[in-house]
Amino acid sequence: MGITTAVSERPAELRRSELAAFLRSRRSRISPADAGLPAGRRRRTAGLRREEVAQLAGVGITWYTWLEQGRPINASPQVLDAVARTLRLDPVEREHLFRLALGPIAGGPESHAVALGPQVRQILDQLSPLPASVTTERFDVLAWNRPFEVLHPRVCAAPPGERNSLYACFTKPACCSTYENRDEQRTVLVAQLRAAYAHHLGEPAWTSFIQRMEALSPEFRSAWASQDVAHPHSLRKVFRHPEFPRLSMTSTSMALQNHPGTRLVVYTPDDAETRRAIEYLVTSKSEKHFPCWSVHQRELAATGHSS
């Protein structure tokens, strides 16, 4: 589906399409044995059948089929709760189900250009030596302090259209990745993006960003198709730096109420060694690079780009 077609669809239709795909993905991961049902023979469905979900949830087979087909039908919170229990949804998945089935919550975050005030930038500076940044739900990095730049030099140096931590995680070479646990971070970032997407169905900026990522990265495309969802939370991240191969930190996200759709993300060192390493890197202004740096510089020069 091209960008023009996707953008022209109404948000309600997009929500129903997302809901249909989400329900199918959650149904396919539950085996009959998990639900206390006999496996039976000639089972062509990877998980539960639609009629089995309907029976276990106590709803009509036709109603559930239409729900999973993305048809415009009414769904009460009580019935959705029964479906959520049957599909064994966790709290984040349950919220995602309700948002897709019932529509956006009034007063939710809006997508618009964010102009951060000087107070926010002052807070970022005061948090040093803790790395910190302000990001959008789409992982656009709007502002940062010096310790954050030490950990993410390529993100901070990128042009605005590419100053995005998810974009960097999926498109930059693994040899000089910021993360040691890169695959784990990719999974979490996409799950958070999928949950946030429910707030922005039909918005051209979101549609084009996701389609761009799908075109750039088969790994993103596969992770996006999984329909997994997650909310920002405290998360352990293991960073890499040319001088320090392992920097273990925990990220904590806090919503900025004056700037809907944004959050302050602060990284706290997990041990004294990591804290000392960050303090050293901030004050030393180290310019050391990974061994692959010269190769990438030649590649960039050949294409007419800068690092």
Over residues 145-160, the pLDDT tens digits come to 999 998 998 889 888 8
Residue 1 scores a pLDDT above 50 = no
Can you give the pLDDT at residue 221? 94
CA distance 132 to 26: 35
Residue 160, pLDDT score: 80
CA 281 to chain CA centroid, nearest Å: 29
The pLDDT value recorded for residue 300 is 59
Indicate whether 299 pLDDT > 70.
no
pLDDT, tens digit (0-9, with 9 covering 90-100), for 37-64: 876 666 676 789 899 999 999 999 999 9
What does the pLDDT look like over 164-211, one tens digit per residue?
999 999 988 888 788 888 889 999 999 999 999 998 888 878 888 998
Those residues with Cβ within 8 angstroms of residue 72's Cβ, 6 or more apart along the chain or in another chain:
12, 16
State the maximum Cα–Cα separation within the chain, in Å, rounded to a whole number.
67
Task: Provide the CA 159 distance to its chain's centre, in angstroms.
Answer: 21
pLDDT for 33? 83
Fold of 3-37+46-102: 434 Repressor (Amino-terminal Domain) (1.10.260)
pTM of the model: 0.74
In what side-by-side order are the strands of the sheet with 244-255?
141-144, 132-136, 262-269, 244-255, 235-241
Predicted pLDDT at 188: 92
Mean pLDDT, the chain, rounded, equals 84
Q: Are 224 and 276 in contact (CB under 8 A)?
A: no
217 has pLDDT over 50: yes
- Contact at 8 Å (CB) between 100 and 18? yes
- The pLDDT of residue 20 is 92
Both tokens assigned to 299:
């590649």
Task: State the Cα–Cα distance between residues 50 and 45, nearest whole angstrom.
Answer: 9
| pLDDT for residue 261 | 86
- Where does 118-303 sit in CATH, by number? 3.30.450.180
List, for residues 128-140, the tens digit of each pLDDT value. Answer: 999 999 999 999 9
pLDDT at 304: 47
- The 10s digit of each residue's pLDDT in 80-129 is 888 999 999 887 888 888 888 887 543 333 334 567 888 999 999 999 99
Domain with CATH 3.30.450.180 in the chain: 118-303
Indicate where the chain has its CATH 1.10.260.40 domain(s): 3-37+46-102
Cα dist from 90 to 53, 87, 123, whole Å = 17, 9, 34
Whether the predicted pLDDT of 72 surpasses 90: no
- List, for residues 113-124, the tens digit of each pLDDT value: 567 888 999 999
Distance CA 52, CA 43 (A): 12
